[in-house]
Amino acid sequence: MPRNMSFMLTTEQIRNKTKTVTRRLGWWFLRPGAILNACEKCQGLKKGEKIKKLCQIRVISTEKIRLHQVNSSECAKEGFPDMHWSEFIFMFRQEMRCEWATDVNRIEFEYV
């Protein structure tokens, strides 16, 4: 049974299938070929709320990189084609409470 991965901040990009890369502070165990349920939200559900599955994705590759290695083409793969890389890094740091040089797991995927 596939694991659930939350895309709470990029739900629209998943729905539109414009996102093919995600960065995580964890998920180091993932391997190419793994199938995941892309979900709207997986944690912090209120009483009675259920996980909303958006689609399934297949991991193509994972790579340990520094957050500051993000560039404009990576922003587009994250589903933000018009965002400057520095804005993306700022947004990621705010949401994940991490530093500029934090190691992140770059996960590339395709839609099943």
Domain limits of the chain? 3-111
Gap between the Cα atoms of 106 and 21, Å rounded = 7
Tell me the HSE value of 56 on the side-chain side, using a 13 A CA sphere. 9
The helix (run of H) or strand (run of E) holding residue 6 is: strand 3-6
Give the whole-angstrom CA distance, residue 71 versus residue 48: 40
Q: How far is CA 71 from the centre of its chain?
A: 16
Is the per-residue pLDDT at 55 higher than 90? Answer: yes
pLDDT of 49: 85
In this prediction, residues 33-58 reach a mean pLDDT of 92
Q: What is the pLDDT of residues 57-99, one digit of tens each?
A: 999 999 999 999 999 999 999 999 999 999 999 999 999 999 9
Indicate the SS3 state at residue 62: strand
pTM metric for this prediction: 0.93
Question: Does 6 have pLDDT greater than 90?
Answer: yes
End-to-end CA distance of the chain: give it in Å, rounded.
15
The predicted structure's pLDDT at residue 95: 95
Question: May I ask the CATH architecture of the domain 3-111?
Answer: Roll (3.10)
Give the amino acid at 97: R
